[in-house]
Amino acid sequence: LSGFAADLGGTKIAAARIEGGAVAERLQTATDGAADPDAQVEAIGALLDRLGHRHGAPLGVAVAGRVDAAGCWHAVNRGILAAIDAVPLGEKLGRAFGGGTALNDADSAALAEGLFGAGRESDSFAYLTVSTGVGGGLVLGNRLISSGNGMAGHVGFVSSRHASGPCGSGRRGTVESIAGGRAIAAAAAAAGQDVADARAVFAAADAGASWAERIVDASAGAVATLIGDLAAILGTDTVALGGSIGLAPGYLDRVGHALGAEPALFRPRLVPAALGHDAPLIGALAARLGKDT
């Protein structure tokens, strides 16, 4: 697997030159959430130029939001990418770079983990990213589950019996609305705590503050219930957790503890994501080239 990849998220744009299935060189810049689509593609292009990309070289691009079967890119959470609405991204990549496959960033990471990482041995694999929000991707028999509208696999937007608040998607009572970083920070503020972000809530929980442990356990509990639901729907046998919260020390153990309340059939193997922040980059190129290239 050799070529180029980019990963455009809510906070950063990363790009890489990939050789033999591994990241050989990686560059990163901050995302301008208000920038228009052409400016976003230009920002990707600036990184690719520095990495030595030539017109027509293999390129995969992972983006926050959904990408439909026609290669159109839509923000799901307009609070994060304000100007992205039905953008013909496939066409733009063709014009700017001589080709390129675009897909959702969590799907892309799921594909990489499923083919080469934590889900290699699995035939029904789910990747969950717990970060600012909660995203995911589903890989069955080495194939990413996808739908024409690009929504398949957005598992953070399913309803949770633990939740009732609003979420970035516009739905209420979703897993994301209680488990994501934004939700964790909001819960701390609602509890009258003066903390900056989810990371600070985790630090307080580590220091033994019971208010913070309750909030982190509520997040972990909602993720565990989601995992049980995935086992029921898809026969999921392995779940990998990624994202800064998913990989935060102690979080996987809390999810595992909550999952312990489920009957055995609803308790897939739970493991940390193996490819870290390279996963979306590697998966995007794999989507472009196929796993054996």
In the complex, the residues that contact ligand ADP under the rule CB under 6 A are: 9-11, 131-132, 181, 197-199, 202, 243-245, 248
Minimum CB separation of residue 279 from ligand ADP in Å reads: 11
Q: Nearer Cβ to ligand ADP, position 203 or 265?
A: 203
Minimum CB separation of residue 177 from ligand ADP in Å reads: 14
Minimum CB separation of residue 9 from ligand ADP in Å reads: 5
Minimum CB separation of residue 10 from ligand ADP in Å reads: 5
Q: Nearer Cβ to ligand ADP, position 41 or 128?
A: 128
Q: Nearer Cβ to ligand ADP, position 6 or 231?
A: 6
Minimum CB separation of residue 128 from ligand ADP in Å reads: 12
Q: Nearer Cβ to ligand ADP, position 89 or 248?
A: 248
Minimum CB separation of residue 2 from ligand ADP in Å reads: 26
Ramachandran area for residue 138 (φ above 0: left; ψ -120 to 50: alpha; else beta)? beta
Q: How far is CA 96 from CA 61, 126, 140, in A?
A: 13, 33, 33
Give the CB-nearest residue to ligand ADP.
Answer: 181
Minimum CB separation of residue 284 from ligand ADP in Å reads: 15
Q: Nearer Cβ to ligand ADP, position 9 or 114?
A: 9
Q: Nearer Cβ to ligand ADP, position 231 or 240?
A: 240
Under a CB-based contact definition with an 8 Å cutoff, are residues 41 and 92 in contact? yes
Q: Nearer Cβ to ligand ADP, position 1 or 6?
A: 6
Which residue bears the tokens 């392995």? 238
Backbone angles phi, psi at 189, to 5 degrees: -65, -40
